[in-house]
Structure 1
Amino acid sequence: MTTETLHWTAVCAATDILPDTGVCALVDGVHVAIFRIGAAAQFFAIDNVDPKSGASVLSRGLVGSLRERIVVASPLYKNHFDLRTGECIEAPEHSVRAHAVRVEEGRVQVALA
């Protein structure tokens, strides 16, 4: 599926997300965590629900890097999730979905995986 055929949902203005933080949005009934990383303003989107606890909290985690991976640490169990793939580094069976994200005309848009 190309980015043109995806169903994009506008979430917020890109400037509403501070650098190196995340926000939560409800996209087609799914809790999605959207992160803005660095001065270059790269955006990533993953499921917001921590699979170990079932709580919608990943958007509140701390972002950083492990080796060459950009990750968020769950605020509950401290598992690290790769923001590009959704893979849980410590326990791959707890991985989450990564979603397509883009900025169009200053608005962050998400398309579910």
Structure 2
Amino acid sequence: MTLNPTSPPSAPPFAWAPVCALRDILPGLGVCALVEGQQVAVFNIGGQVYAVGNRDPFTGANVMSRGLTGSYTRGDVSRVKVTSPLLKHAFDLETGESLDDPTVQLPTYAVRIEGGDVWIGSAV
């Protein structure tokens, strides 16, 4: 889905693009959206929405929105992850950091829910 960015009133440092209604993303699953020419994987995990780049940095394929989501523990903190459907590399959904190779990372995007719609922010 390609949408032209607009700015909701509460979002100064980003160009915000509406991508879909929150109800359109099934819990635990992802969808792909095109924001500012970039494919973005958007996930709904327990009502919390995360957005990362859709391109798997290990294979170059745009498949992260089809990845499996889950949780892992770092220290005493439970965190959420997505695992690529191709080579099964896992990434932290908050930071984009690879759990297999700390030198690799997915880009992350700001997310807002306004009026039941998901907005993705990209740096201006």
Q: Normalising by the residue count of structure 1, what TM-score does the alignment of the two structures yield? A: 0.92
SS at match of 1:46: strand
**Gaps (5+ residues) in structure 2?**
1-9
- In the alignment, which of 21, 24, 28 is matched to residue 36 of structure 2? 28
Describe the superposition over 1:8-32 as per-residue Cα deviations: whole angstroms up to 9, x where unpaired: 1000011000001000000000010
Runs of 4+ in 1 over 6 A off after TM superposition: none
CA distance in 2, matches of 1:112, 1:69: 23
Cα RMSD after superposing both structures: 1.3
SS at match of 1:65: strand
* Count of matched residue positions in the alignment of Structure 1 and Structure 2: 110
Describe the superposition over 1:34-82 as per-residue Cα deviations: whole angstroms up to 9, x where unpaired: 00001xx000000010001111000101100111220000001111110
**Gaps (5+ residues) in structure 1?**
none
Matching of residue 100 in structure 1 with residue 101 in structure 2 = no
Matching of residue 61 in structure 1 with residue 67 in structure 2 = yes
Matching of residue 74 in structure 1 with residue 84 in structure 2 = yes
CA distance in 2, matches of 1:88, 1:64: 14
* % identical equivalent positions: 49
Larger Rg, first or second structure (1 or 2): 2
SS at match of 1:85: coil
